[in-house]
Structure 1
Amino acid sequence: MKPDLHGSRIVLRSIQTNDSDDLLEIYGDIQTMEFASDPAFTSKDMIVQMIESVVQLEKSGESLEWAVMEKVTKKVIGTCGLHGFSGNGNSCEVGCLLNSSYWRQGYMSEALSLLFSHAKSLGIKELYADIDEGNFRSQALFNKLDFKAKNGQFQRLL
């Protein structure tokens, strides 16, 4: 069982089925999903399938995914996770999505800082992020978090 991770304004916690309205607001938004690997979701059924997939990937050890919950409102405003662990468990990919209504307010910086501390506690030594060439907001965020562009990816040592 992965732990909840507490920041000053947010909590990273397991994604729950009762998060589906908030998740559809995130995953159904064309602006939020512009650079995601999937198109915008169009139904709650797609959210249910996503949650089932998250559970299976966590059970198999392939992924760890958290809901980013705002402490004051208890609203899920994003997701972030660790994926694609290397064979020796020393490195993995970071993924994140944030409701576009919450952009440029420091929420994802806080979430990723919590995530990176937890990754380090798991023995992960290197993180990488696959960020599209035109996704300047994410590039700026990951640069701010000490990632360096290398071989078409952003990488950071912990």
Structure 2
Amino acid sequence: MKPDLHGSRIILRSIQSNDCNDLFEIYSDNQTMEFASDPIFTSKDMIIQMLESVVRLEKSGESLEWAVMEKATNKVIGTCGLHSFSDNGDACEVGCLLNSSYWRQGYVSEALFLLFSHTKSLGVEKLFADIDEGNFRSQALFSKLGFKSKNGKFQRFL
């Protein structure tokens, strides 16, 4: 079981079925989903399918996914996770998605710092981020967090 990770304004915790409304707000928003690899969700049934997938992928060890919950409101404002682990577990990809209403407030930076600390404890030494070439905001953020662009992917050693 993965731990909850506590920051000053957020908690990274397991995604729960009662997060459905907050998750639908995130995954159905055009602005939030502009550069996401998933299509825009058009129904809450798609959230239920996503939750089932998260459980299945975590059980198989293929990924770890957290809800980003704002402490002040207990609202889920995003998700972040680790996936595409290397065969020996020393590298993986990091991904995050934040409700567009919460952009430019430092929430993703805080979430990623918590995630990076935990990732190091798992024995991961290198992180990758697959950022769309037009997603300049994410490119700037990941560069600020120490990621270097190499062959179209961003990477960082822990």
- Asked if TM exceeds 0.5, the reply is yes
**In 2, Cα distance between the equivalents of 1:55 and 1:61?**
10
- The aligned counterpart of 2:87 is 87
Matched residue SS, 1:32: helix
What letter matches 2:147 in structure 1?
F
Aligned-pair identity in percent equals 82
For structure 2, list consecutive stretches of 5 or more residues without a partner in the other structure. none
Q: TM-score, normalised by structure 2?
A: 0.99
- The aligned counterpart of 1:11 is 11
**In 1, Cα distance between the equivalents of 2:19 and 2:7?**
20
**In 2, Cα distance between the equivalents of 1:18 and 1:44?**
12
For structure 1, list consecutive stretches of 5 or more residues without a partner in the other structure. none
- The aligned counterpart of 1:74 is 74
Moved over 6 A (4+): none
- State how 1:18-97 maps to structure 2 within 5 Å: 18-97=18-97
- The aligned counterpart of 2:131 is 131
CA deviation map 1:15-36 (0-9, x unaligned): 0000000000000001000001
**In 2, Cα distance between the equivalents of 1:113 and 1:139?**
16
**In 2, Cα distance between the equivalents of 1:82 and 1:116?**
10
What letter matches 2:67 in structure 1?
A
Q: CA deviation at 1:56?
A: 0.2
